[in-house]
Amino acid sequence: MRIATWNVNSITARLPRLLAWLESSGTDVLCLQEAKIAEAQFPFDQLRELGYEAAVNATGRWNGVAVLSRVGLADVVKGLPGDPGYDGAEEPRAVFATCGPVRVCSVYVPNGREVDHPHYAYKLRWFEALKAAVAGDAAGGRPFAVLGDYNVAPTDDDVYDVAAFEGLTHVTPAERAALASLREAGLADVVPRPLKYDHPYTYWDYRQLAFPKNRGMRIDLVYGNEPFAKAVTDSYVDREERKGKGASDHAPVVVDLDV
């Protein structure tokens, strides 16, 4: 079984690449982030033609998450119980679904913007709500994983130059502690380092030739419980999908399971 996560940075802009990638990659379940589309406009028909059902939590604008599956889709839950919300509104940043023998949660963790910005405090509160929401599945006997854009680099080695991020979000002790709290709940990073190259980054800014210069970050993660981790047989970052015209600024992260 092949499961992947990909921040597509607008499913409308990326649809031709998404459909081609689904056909070529052999992916059974794909967790998407930054759909940037309302659920009513989501491309259900095009995905159905390829054999995929979709569970979507999206309202347009900047957020939106989804789970695409060709191995079944059940027990869909949108959002987090106790979601703290931002500026008076709950944002579409999480969706759970059971796909065959595996349960997944697709997440788009708040960016945080700046350390002294209210969005940063919201990010930390959102992590607390996420931990509470996944605790039961994490402790269960069924393979379960939280996949998505966490907007946190777990270690200094997960950014091209930690000095370039001094005083910025994504690398602060508080954000990394929030990520560690998920591990305390029974989840672990199932994508080992190094992979087939020294720095398996998953995100490169569009500006200043960041991708050709490999000035990236590893912020798209797969955190699985023990049954999920034990089933992993391989994993990789599909760096090729970051290349070329019309690419997302994130690459897909792929995990193979023997379930």
Annotated binding site: 7, 34, 149, 151, 249-250
Query: 102 is in which domain, residue-wise?
Result: 2-257
Report d(CA 49, CA 92) in Å as an integer.
26
- Cβ(34)–Cβ(10) under 8 Å? yes
Report d(CA 56, CA 190) in Å as an integer.
25
Average pLDDT of the chain is: 95
Using 50, 70 and 90 to split pLDDT, how confident is the model at 199? low
pLDDT at 87: 93
pLDDT at 61: 81
- CATH for 24: 3.60.10.10
Instruction: State pLDDT tens for residues 213-247.
Output: 999 999 999 999 999 999 999 999 999 999 999 99
- Asked if pLDDT for residue 151 goes beyond 80, the answer is yes
pLDDT at 29: 99
Annotated binding site for Mg(2+): 7, 34, 149, 151, 249-250
Q: Which residues are catalytic?
A: 108, 149, 250
Paired with 146 in beta bridges are 105, 223
pLDDT at 200: 83
- Rounded to an integer, the average pLDDT of 56-69 is 95
Work out how many domains the chain is built from and give that number: 1
Which H or E run contains 96?
A: strand 94-99
- Rounded to an integer, the average pLDDT of 22-34 is 98
- Rounded to an integer, the average pLDDT of 84-112 is 97
pLDDT at 192: 72
Query: Which of the pair, 196 or 235, is modelled with greater confidence?
Result: 235
- Cβ(35)–Cβ(66) under 8 Å? yes
pLDDT at 198: 59
- Cβ(205)–Cβ(214) under 8 Å? no
- Asked if pLDDT for residue 197 goes beyond 60, the answer is no
Mean pLDDT is lowest, of 37-41, 52-56, 60-64, 83-87, for 60-64
- Cβ(107)–Cβ(147) under 8 Å? yes
Question: Which one-letter amino acid corresponds to residue 46?
Answer: Q
Report d(CA 63, CA 65) in Å as an integer.
7
